Chains A and B, each alone.
Chain A
Amino acid sequence: MTTASPVSPLKNTLVPKSMLDRLDKIDKDLPKTIAKLRQRRLDFKTAPLVDQELVRQWGKECIKPLRQFCEKVLVELYTHYTPFSVNNLLGEVTKRGLRLEIALALASQYDPILNNDALLRRYINEGFVDWDYLASVMNGFGYRFGVDELKSLLTQPTGVRRRFRLGFGGFKK
Chain B
Amino acid sequence: MLVPRVVAISYFSGRRGGTGKSTLAANQAIALSMALRTNVVLMDFGMDSTQTSSRLLGINPDRPGVLDYVFGLVKDVGQVVVRSNVAPSVFVIPPGTLRSWELWDRPINARQVYDALRNLLITVSRLVNAQVVLIDLPASIEVTPVLALLNSNIINLVMDYVSYVDVVLTEIDNLIRSLIQSRQYPIVNVVLNKWLPGLDVVEPKARAFAHNGEVFVLPTSQVVQYLTASQKPFVLYKPRGSLEGFVREFNKLNDELARQVKALLGL
Contacts and interface: CB of A to CB of B under 8 A. Distances in A.
A27 B39 contact: no
Contacts of A22: 197-198
A40 B34 CA distance: 13
A22 B5 CA distance: 47
B74 to A, nearest CB: 17
Interface stretch (A29-37, A57-65, A144-152): A29-37
A44 B1 contact: no
Given A29-B241, A85-B3, A46 B38 contact: yes
A135 B76 CA distance: 30
Interface in B189-228: 196-198, 220-223, 226-227
Contacts of A33: 223, 240-243
A22 B1 CA distance: 56
Interface stretch (B65-73, B100-108, B118-126, B168-176): B118-126
Interface string B108-129: 0000000000110011001001
A85 B39 CA distance: 21
A120 B34 contact: no
Contacts of B4: 80-82, 112
Interface string A13-49: 0010001001100110110011011111011111101
B223 A46 contact: no
Given A23-B197, A26-B242, A44-B87, A37 B2 contact: no
A26 B199 CA distance: 15
A147 B223 CA distance: 68
A77 interface: yes
A121 B89 contact: no
A82 B265 CA distance: 6
Interface residues of A, number: 39
B187 to A, nearest CB: 16
A44 B266 contact: no
A102 to B, nearest CB: 16
Contacts of A81: 2-5
A76 to B, nearest CB: 10
A161 B119 CA distance: 39
A117 interface: yes
Contact of A79 (B89, B129, B238): B129
A38 B223 CA distance: 12
Contacts of B131: 49
Contacts of A30: 222-223, 226, 241
B2 A46 contact: no
A4 to B, nearest CB: 28
A40 B129 contact: no
Lowest 7 A-B CB distances belong to which pairs?
A84-B266, A33-B241, A47-B37, A85-B3, A27-B222, A19-B198, A44-B89
